[in-house]
Structure 1
């Protein structure tokens, strides 16, 4: 790893941790250095994750490393089962055991025989050869391969959301708006929101859903597995904007084979457009005479950038500016991946327009922190009730941010 001025891409271990940390009635044990989990716990609390999955670290010392001792892990598991009675224990390696070749899966198999009443699930990616997004992808896939029970479809249509994880900014607010839109349009309930706001019992019921709504591309592998095993169709779409959300609901309608409530959708569209009406003349004027001021510059997760950009350009008449994604595996010709070496000069050259990115980048660039759409930052986000970015209400929130940023710059 070379010298960096800002953060590197988080490791697969962190992606796994962020994915598992919001699951209730489970415990997560890291077999590694104690400091890792302490710092990770603080980071999670900054993002509003509290007392959901119980987090533990075994702590290892020089003797464990030199002699390959695993007694601490065995004692930790026994104490967790005695004191917390979790339904599932997740095992997460850290860099040191990964480097010395500790076989965590074999250890899990031994512990499973000693404690058959608790499901043991090992996860990989303790090293630095896998990045955050692969960690999220593999964690979601591992969960659906191991926990869902053999159940029939629910009598009435239901849905799962796949990909609402703690590494995404305002993940809880976006999941809540997604649920509100689907419940309002179809009158159906979610079985599981994987993984924010869920528990082991919810994951066990996932096979009973009639459709899986995948809101980030890392969740597609999990959705494909559920489709093969339970015959559940899925939709990979992150809905942004007024028209964009309505089109997403139409896509769900086609998959479910049942019509949504047109009155609800038209009411939501009408409310959103009525709220935006006072500022639209200003934006139309900008689009005609000062296009540089309604140019969108975005840097974040690829699905978030593509969704916000689609709403801004297609529905608001904005212009596409400097846009990049934060994963080398998701970069394309139209939306490239920018390393720190590339985004620093790109951001330094931005004099006009609307710039949305991580809190860290916005602070460094001297831009408004209200335009944050991704981590990291130094702020606390203690509750899940902030305005979303997705859905009908997310469209209003985005325009509200854009108009106030425009006023500040003028």
Structure 2
């Protein structure tokens, strides 16, 4: 067991709750102590996201644990179905009810004939995997259980998959993706999985011509929609000029997606001119150009590409949960490992989560790019880190470093 001064890595149960919490008209019942559900809901506030779902706890007592009774859960499902009348009720086990082997699937199966809502059981209890696994599981579950089959396709509509509230800068990053798609392809977003969506948005997610996957946890959902509805998808990092040009080329190859070359050239030319300005400023700089990045997988991979594109040295790039898919990244390290690294290394820039920025360190630029979040409030949705304007935003912050 690792010692933690700040936060342990959130488990898959938390990833599921975060994914569902921003969907309006969703009901979630957790079979477990009220305190654990309350803690999960309190954490949503630190993510700068809106809690739009209705999330309930059955609570538990010693009798429920000792004898494995489901009376509370069954009554809670019936009560919510009658009084709230939701289309869908997600039923999940907490860590404690998972330990005693709560059979959530059987409870849902026994009640489905007497309940108006569709019951969707979630069996994980957060005892095995990190939150990214829960996000992946829930995105895939949503398209399987809620998205409706349809022959209707709108060539002018697309979905964004993976823009959840657990992504630190999701508000601004989503706006930048929407702006790019409008300015370069004249397309409008249909459904965002799952930031500020409704159940109806998820139901109608198949009425599109493209899925844009913005994090790898959304790939399973996109692949399922490709197989079932024949909706093409693209997945690429959204950080940096090279990654963005690669993404634009992928989208341009989709039928019905014609690129506005004039607008595209303007975007690229502006970014290139500022990249040249930054490189010119650092050309004769003999000081330390080392940077460190700590965050979720796609943020770390993307920022690493961007910073190297700007001529800076990425000395450490660490994913803050277990991930063995990239041999060039560090993952699964402890807080103490990060504390030691930050204490012993002088950096030009530290790009990390709230705890990393709070640790003792020596850097000329501190920029929060990932959660957990300690005290930052993000309400202005036009300061992206991704896309063309995201590149300019980060270049501006680096250019303002006092060398």
TM-score class normalised by the smaller sequence: over 0.9
Q: Is the 8 A contact 2:155 2:256 kept in 1?
A: no
- CA deviation after TM superposition for structure 1 residue 53, in Å: 0.9
What are the Cα deviations for residues 278-310 of structure 1, in whole angstroms up to 9, with x where unaligned?
Answer: xx54642324432623x3211111211111121
Residue 337 of structure 1 corresponds to 331
Unaligned segments of structure 1, at least 5 residues: none
What are the Cα deviations for residues 213-271 of structure 1, in whole angstroms up to 9, with x where unaligned?
Answer: 11111111111111111111211113113453233112111133532111222233345
Residue 374 of structure 1 corresponds to 370
Distance 2:167 2:324 in 1: 16
- Of Structure 1 and Structure 2, the greater helix share is in 1
Residue 320 of structure 2 corresponds to 326
Residue 360 of structure 1 corresponds to 355
Residue 72 of structure 1 corresponds to 72
2:160 aligned with 1:161 = yes
Q: Is the 8 A contact 2:291 2:347 kept in 1?
A: no
What are the Cα deviations for residues 189-215 of structure 1, in whole angstroms up to 9, with x where unaligned?
Answer: 222111112111111112222111111
CA separation of 1:347 and 1:331: change in aligned 2, threshold 3 A: farther
**CA-based RMSD:** 2.2
Distance 2:130 2:95 in 1: 13
- CA deviation after TM superposition for structure 1 residue 96, in Å: 0.8
CA separation of 1:370 and 1:2: change in aligned 2, threshold 3 A: closer
CA separation of 1:217 and 1:272: change in aligned 2, threshold 3 A: same
Distance 2:224 2:367 in 1: 36
Report SS of the residue matched to 1:352. strand
Residue 18 of structure 2 corresponds to 18
Q: Is the 8 A contact 1:325 1:331 kept in 2?
A: no
Q: Is the 8 A contact 2:236 2:243 kept in 1?
A: no
Distance 1:155 1:338 in 2: 42
What TM-score do the two structures reach when normalised by structure 2? Answer: 0.92
Residue 391 of structure 1 corresponds to 387
Q: Is the 8 A contact 1:31 1:94 kept in 2?
A: yes
What are the Cα deviations for residues 136-185 of structure 1, in whole angstroms up to 9, with x where unaligned?
Answer: 11111111111111112424332111111121101222122111111221
Distance 1:166 1:354 in 2: 25
Unaligned segments of structure 2, at least 5 residues: none
What are the Cα deviations for residues 63-86 of structure 1, in whole angstroms up to 9, with x where unaligned?
Answer: 111122222222222332333332
Report SS of the residue matched to 1:307. helix
- CA deviation after TM superposition for structure 1 residue 97, in Å: 0.6
What TM-score do the two structures reach when normalised by structure 1? Answer: 0.91
